[in-house]
Amino acid sequence: MVDRDIDDQSGPIDRATYEFYQNGAPFYTSSGAQAHSRHLDGFLDRLSPGAAILEIGCGGGRDTAHMVDRGFVTDPTDGIPAMVAKANERHDIGARLMRFDELDAVGAYDVVWAHACLLHCPRDQMPDVVRRIHLALRPRGLHYASFKLGDGEGRDLLGRLHNFPSAAWLRDLYVQGGFETLSEDIFAGKGTDGTQRDWMALTVKRL
């Protein structure tokens, strides 16, 4: 059974995953961990100048810092207090604490960027999180997310919870959530635990 007993008034967080990132925040702000995400520039090229971007799971702040450098309006968030503190310490980006299930904005953003973070959301919570992202976007707003593919929820070698979806499961999730797929990329990559597996990156549009 998944242990989700860290609860801050609403919405549980998996304990092992929380503690991994809370204790590992210094690693994610080290100089060697600061290259921005591989799909970020291509995604930003789709946007109008000055687009408003919500980043969920901003981690060490590397992607938001690059967005700022490119002239976009950003709202970086993360559900781990130590990650928020380190992102602001390193990049001074105004990151704030917010879990996926606490997103309650309506029509506030042109973009929701979620690189390698929603992969930690329990499967049974994903439909609600996608609904919240849909509500937060303006009409025809864009959303990017990347996931490690697999055949069911489980843990990696570091003990972190992953939803490990199939590509078909992800496609159906976003269709049911009111999105149209604009592009997808399936590629091989290693996670922090060193395991090689296929990843899937999706860019979708709010209908």
pLDDT per position as a tens digit, 138-165: 999 999 999 999 999 999 999 999 999 9
Q: What residue has token string 């604009």?
A: 182
Cα angle at 110 between 129 and 91, to 5 degrees?
Answer: 85
The predicted structure's pLDDT at residue 1: 31
Question: Residue 180 pLDDT more than 90?
Answer: yes
pLDDT per position as a tens digit, 126-139: 999 999 999 999 99
Residue-range domains of the chain with CATH: 6-206 (3.40.50.150)
Torsion of CA 69, 54, 144, 196, to 10 degrees: 80
Average pLDDT on 181-187 reads 97
- Kindly calculate the radius of gyration of the chain based on its CA atoms and give it in whole angstroms: 16
Average pLDDT on 183-194 reads 93
| Percent of residues, the chain, with pLDDT higher than 70 | 91
Residue 10 binned pLDDT confidence (cut-offs 50, 70, 90) = very low
The predicted structure's pLDDT at residue 35: 83
Residue 191 binned pLDDT confidence (cut-offs 50, 70, 90) = confident
Listed in order, strand segments (DSSP E) in 50-178 are 52-55, 73-78, 96-97, 109-114, 137-148, 154-155, 161-162
pLDDT per position as a tens digit, 63-116: 999 999 999 999 999 999 999 999 999 999 999 999 999 999 999 999 999 999
